[in-house]
Structure 1
Amino acid sequence: MTEIFVSPQRVSARDDLTVVDVRREWDYANDHIPGAVHVPFERFRDSGDAMEGTLPTPTAFGSLLGGAGIEPRDRIVAYDGGRGVYASRLLVTAEVLGHDPDRLHLMDGDIRAWRRNHETTDAVPDTETAEYVCEPRADGALIGADELEDALDSDAVVVDTRDPVEYDTVHLPGAVNLQWRTLVDDETRRLRPRDELESILQAHGLHPDRPVRLYCNTGRRLSFVYTVLLELGYEDIGFYEGGIEAWAEHGGPVETTS
């Protein structure tokens, strides 16, 4: 089974890992995991029309990662200060744009979880600019509006990862509302034990043998849920990047919670 979430202990012995901090500039400058390179979250989000949702263009993403010294064959482990929800977005973006998914990992926890047993630094590592050329996947998990609409009439579980208020206002017919925070232990800031995760997901109708289709508005919340599902062995997962507004423009059906 694919190991996506790796412990801080594993990261500390990272002879084969490229550690990536996705927090804001001032957070990274204050303290970070020793040797971590910086790829800030706001730099790999793009709400323009060139790509679906908030995905950056391949050229922009390749320039960003190459500028941080990251190469296409690197084994990446990302972390943030928000329990992994921002770092997971980097991994999903990299996967869509061609990075080998078997070489993409998320630190289980965040910088606060790291600080409990490990030291941080403000020293910026020396890096050389690398050539990172993106080759977007044609067979990946990114789906379009037509594919999402098809899922509404299938045995797939359509999952809305937005906040409950957003969900109650409007959502896709039959979609279940799953909050990414329920998958994380608030005290440790790390992923809940496997049996707890399976119980939460099953309560929402999610099982490894059923297709799952995710949607959100900003992308980061569905990215975390997507990453957890991969960790648990789910294979048939797709995610829609457009959000509710793009879905409405497509003319897709919606409903509200009364």
Structure 2
Amino acid sequence: MDLIIEPEALAARLEREDLLIVDLSAPQNYLDGHIPGAVHLPFQALMAGTPPAPGKLPSAERLTEVFRHIGLRPEHHVVACDDEGGGWAGRFLWTLEVIGHKNYSYLNGGMHAWRGAGLPLSTEPAEPTPSAIEVAIDPAPLMDAEQIQQHLKDPDFRVWDARSPQEYRGERVLAMKAGHIPGAINCEWTQLMDPQRDLRIRADAREFLARLGIDDSQKIVTHCQSHHRSGFTWLVGKSLGFDIRAYPGSWSEWGNLPDTPVEQ
């Protein structure tokens, strides 16, 4: 399956034994109707939750518990979806990348698109069989604050800030320091969603980003406040073939560190 899969294509594959669908919707939305067989995973399981940077990765031990609980096995092809346009689904797929599980797809538009296509829904919670998977963390898909500072003057390095323009400009303050990482390009995550097509990734995403100064000639790192919104921007970059990583500490870390440079 392709990285980005459409609802009808997924519906035709629901009987595959090697398919694991993970739904990161709000609990009530999942109970109100989900893709038949989809396992629910609360988004909190993907984050360490430790102040001041709650978006950092949990430990390998904690991730092992999470992935065993949802029944992940090495042979699975995982499809992720959510009810908000791709933030949590993207964060989940990035986490799969971090643990070295490369077989995954994003349901384009998530549950908005599935419902919009009139496809079957279930209200029966899935009960996965726990697995015995062992998880190790590969640092390649992520960057930390020190690594970003080392690359800020590289001409082919770009920071993609997925926060709101108000946060980027320093008008909305959510840390000790306000503003953005020097040289960062602001493209709010929702700008990559098409509201006319059930929040699918916009068809002209490559051209839209190129006009802003983000393209496949660069090494890119993306962040937001806690690597939730940037879960989606990472996913979009990945789907376009970009050399893209994520900064899970995000602004909640950068904006609270004493020695990190800031622009407004």
Q: Give the TM-score taking structure 1 as reference length.
A: 0.89
Equivalent position SS for 1:187: helix
Q: CA deviation at 1:136?
A: 0.7
* Cα deviation, residue 125, structure 1: 3.2
- Using the alignment, how far apart are the partners of 2:167 and 2:248 within structure 1? 16
* 1:7 corresponds to 2:6: yes
SS at match of 1:76: strand
How many residues are matched? 248
Determine if contact 2:80/2:105 at 8 Å carries over to the other structure.
yes
Give the one of 208, 220, 236 matched to 1:228: 236
Q: How does 1:52-63 map to 2 (within 5 A)?
A: 53-63=55-65
For the aligned residue pairs, the C-alpha RMSD in angstroms reads 1.9
Tell me, yes or no, if the aligned pair for 1:158 and 1:175 is still in contact at 8 Å: yes
* Structure 1 residue aligned with 2:135: 134
Identity within the alignment, %: 29
The answer as to 2:189 corresponding to 1:190 is no
2:82 matches 1:80: yes
1:52-201 mapped onto 2 (5 Å cutoff): 53-96=55-98, 98-101=99-102, 103-115=103-115, 116-138=117-139, 140-155=140-155, 156-169=157-170, 170-188=179-197, 189-193=199-203, 196-201=204-209
- Where does residue 240 of structure 1 map in the other structure? 247
| 1:207 and 2:215 matched | yes
Deviation of the 1:166 alpha carbon: 0.7
CA contact (8 A) 2:23 2:39 kept: yes
Which ranges in structure 2 are unaligned for 5 or more consecutive residues? Answer: 171-178
CA distance in 1, matches of 2:121, 2:34: 5
Equivalent-residue separation in structure 2 for 1:17 and 1:227 (angstroms): 20
Are residue 23 (structure 1) and residue 25 (structure 2) matched?
yes
Corresponding residue number in structure 1 for 2:175: none
Instruction: Answer whether contact 2:47 2:54 (CA < 8 A) is retained.
Output: no
Match for residue 43 of structure 1?
45
1:221–1:172 Cα change, 3 Å: same
